[in-house]
Structure 1
Amino acid sequence: MGVNFDLNDLQAFRAVVEKGTFRKAAEAVNISQPALSRRIEKLEEALGVRLFERTTRSVTLTTVGRVFAQSAEQLLDDLDMALLGIRDVSTSRLGHVTIACVPSVAYYFLPGVIASYHARFPRIRVKLLDASANEVLSAVISGEADFGVSFMGSQEANIEFKVLLQERFVAACRRDHPLARKKRVSWNELYQHEYVSVDKTSGNRLLLDQALSGLAPHPASVCETRHVTTMLGLVEAGLGVAAVPSMAMPPAGHHLLTSVPLIEPAVRRRVGLIRRRGQQLTPAAQQFYQTILDAKRAGAALSRGALSRGARTENGRARK
């Protein structure tokens, strides 16, 4: 039998399998929905079988379609791996990888990694989902993201959590604030001043509520936000102080903001790579995943983040 379909048809088929609808699949491969439908019809005609059962509400694989999906996935992955492994050839290969990441890590940790990855694979498109820790976890579990970088997920049975670094919470304050002159600040001292906080939808809020459950009740915050970066803007505007992960703080020497270690207790969060347990990443995603691990070992990508401000690595040794 002659081969009457091409790589684009297989990619369209895989997109429908992954996304579950023709509309979402068309968006994923950057073509119109009618064009995607024609590719699927062409593939079905070439194979002489129906790959999908279609209704007005859903698209599901037929029995033959499920068998073919496994073979098509392996074929595309093998091709991707071969192209990614050949220098110069990879520059002509179009692909994509989607990473979900909490905003503080996205800003201070990933730029160097993305730059390194882009230098090696300039034609692979990187999509970054910067979202709350809960949303990052959901994106990984649902398959919307290939993998994630977050501080939540280590307790999930179906999630593999690989630690990248450990950072502590610090008091963020203006340089003209009374707390800025201290070497360390207890949580009770912090709450004696007006402060801003993240709301109950935040993963950081959940972590802090659990760690500080033994403290005496404290006054409500002046303002609640959903993101740490917004909270720092409020601190800079003079609305109060805030407890933030050290990675979220601007580099040392910022003209308005500074940080002071929080104690009694010292609260830390572990930041790590999260992926579905047993999941086989696409070659493009696997290369990005490995780039992060390589950067961690080299220490280059972490230099802008928590480790350069006194946080500790997973084995407890401080980096200077």
Structure 2
Amino acid sequence: MHQIEFKDLVIFIRIAETGNFHDAAELTFLSQPALSRRMQKLESLLGAQLFERTTRKTWLTSVGREFLPKARRMVEEFEMSILGIKDMASQQKGKVVIACIPTAAFYFLPSVINVFNERYPGIRIQILDESANQGLESVIRGDADFGINMAIAQHPEVVFTPLLDDPFVVCLRKDHPLCELDEVSWADMESYKLISVGRASGNRILLDKSLARDQVKLNSFYEVQHLSTSLGLVEMGLGISIVPKLAMPLSSASALTFRPLKGQKIDRSIGLVKRSSTSVSPAADLFINILLEHWKAVDLT
């Protein structure tokens, strides 16, 4: 049985990136007929068509879209085996793709990215700031090398490694009457309009479970899709919100502040999400190692 050749994987990736056989042939220093023959051979080995073609356009089939991230990982792993881990630091020109929930991106990533860029300046970083469900799907599909997500976004195809517990707090304007309290109870909030995120949000699911458990009914007056929008409405004086602490602005100049919840605490577990069936790329593995070394240095208190 014939084996897939490294060159064929590179050609496949170039066609997918350029969207046509002509440009891909130039980039891989092949004639267009030779490139077409190689793709036919690859499709034959895989037993599936990777591209749809017209005289003007080339696009990936569903099988091709699924195979693309796998091909990229295989190429990167092959290059790593040739260069060696030390050579990679100065020569690698790859990319690490991270699917990260927006509220955790600022907390986890900047200090790690700084260290990573110093050690491996040739490796680019792409951050997919997505919801918990979207980020989970990106990791499962292979669109992201790994994710930083909530424990609620677990799945048989991924492994979750917890990093920290992020408590929910009451978000208030600094001139709000509840700011006089050290902690805010459910009863304290009953007379105020609550700004909530949509019911599909992982944060909303956690909050609703807690409210149902404690048999609490708050005045959920506004519903938005993003935590950043809820913060904006609180800042405008339209109500209060219950949000993860990581979502709160760090600047002391902000008009917003928070108070801890009194009594029963709510928190969400934030951690690393990786595919269970395949290993991450060597570049992503380097990033993860630095992440695990450095994230504890940032204070959440």
Distance in 2 (CA, whole Å) between partners of 1:247 and 1:49 is 50
TM-score (normalised: structure 1): 0.75
Other-structure match for 1:232:
231
TM-score (normalised: structure 2): 0.80
Q: 1:84 to 1:202 in 2, by over 3 A?
A: farther
Other-structure match for 2:24:
36
Distance in 2 (CA, whole Å) between partners of 1:201 and 1:158 is 21
Equivalences, count: 276
- Report if aligned partners of 2:133, 2:153 keep a CA contact under 8 Å in 1: no
Q: 1:49 to 1:58 in 2, by over 3 A?
A: closer
Distance in 1 (CA, whole Å) between partners of 2:292 and 2:39 is 45
Distance in 2 (CA, whole Å) between partners of 1:143 and 1:275 is 10
1:58 is aligned with what amino acid?
Answer: T
Other-structure match for 1:79:
79
Distance in 1 (CA, whole Å) between partners of 2:95 and 2:154 is 29
2:282 is aligned with what amino acid?
Answer: P
Displacement of 1:145 in angstroms is: 1.0
* SS of residue in 2 equivalent to 1:11: helix
2:24 is aligned with what amino acid?
Answer: L
Other-structure match for 1:179:
178
Q: 1:76 to 1:256 in 2, by over 3 A?
A: closer
- Report if aligned partners of 2:194, 2:219 keep a CA contact under 8 Å in 1: no
- Report if aligned partners of 2:11, 2:35 keep a CA contact under 8 Å in 1: no
Q: 1:48 to 1:244 in 2, by over 3 A?
A: closer
- Report if aligned partners of 1:184, 1:262 keep a CA contact under 8 Å in 2: yes
Displacement of 1:154 in angstroms is: 5.7
1:1-320 equivalences under 5 Å are 10-13=9-12, 15=13, 22=15, 25-26=16-17, 31-34=18-21, 35-36=23-24, 39=28, 42=34, 50-52=41-43, 53=49, 54-56=51-53, 58=61, 76-80=76-80, 83=83, 85-86=85-86, 90-153=89-152, 155-214=154-213, 215-221=215-221, 223-251=222-250, 253-296=252-295, 299-300=296-297, 302-303=298-299, 307=300, 309=301
Displacement of 1:245 in angstroms is: 0.6
Between Structure 1 and Structure 2, which shows a larger proportion of helix residues?
Answer: 2
* SS of residue in 2 equivalent to 1:196: strand
* SS of residue in 1 equivalent to 2:86: coil
Distance in 2 (CA, whole Å) between partners of 1:77 and 1:98 is 15
- Report if aligned partners of 1:187, 1:265 keep a CA contact under 8 Å in 2: no
Distance in 2 (CA, whole Å) between partners of 1:194 and 1:120 is 49
* SS of residue in 1 equivalent to 2:41: coil
- Report if aligned partners of 2:157, 2:276 keep a CA contact under 8 Å in 1: yes
Q: State the Cα deviation string for residues 122-177 of structure 1 (Å, max 9, x = none).
A: 22111111011111111111111111101145642221000111111000101110
Displacement of 1:278 in angstroms is: 2.8
* SS of residue in 1 equivalent to 2:143: coil
Distance in 2 (CA, whole Å) between partners of 1:75 and 1:142 is 18
Displacement of 1:269 in angstroms is: 0.5
CA RMSD between the two structures = 3.1
- Report if aligned partners of 1:234, 1:240 keep a CA contact under 8 Å in 2: yes
* SS of residue in 2 equivalent to 1:50: helix
* SS of residue in 2 equivalent to 1:207: helix
- Report if aligned partners of 1:197, 1:243 keep a CA contact under 8 Å in 2: yes
- Report if aligned partners of 2:171, 2:241 keep a CA contact under 8 Å in 1: yes
- Report if aligned partners of 2:10, 2:75 keep a CA contact under 8 Å in 1: no
Distance in 2 (CA, whole Å) between partners of 1:198 and 1:252 is 23
Percent pairwise identity: 33
- Report if aligned partners of 1:98, 1:127 keep a CA contact under 8 Å in 2: yes
Distance in 1 (CA, whole Å) between partners of 2:70 and 2:203 is 39
- Report if aligned partners of 1:172, 1:244 keep a CA contact under 8 Å in 2: yes
1:219 is aligned with what amino acid?
Answer: N
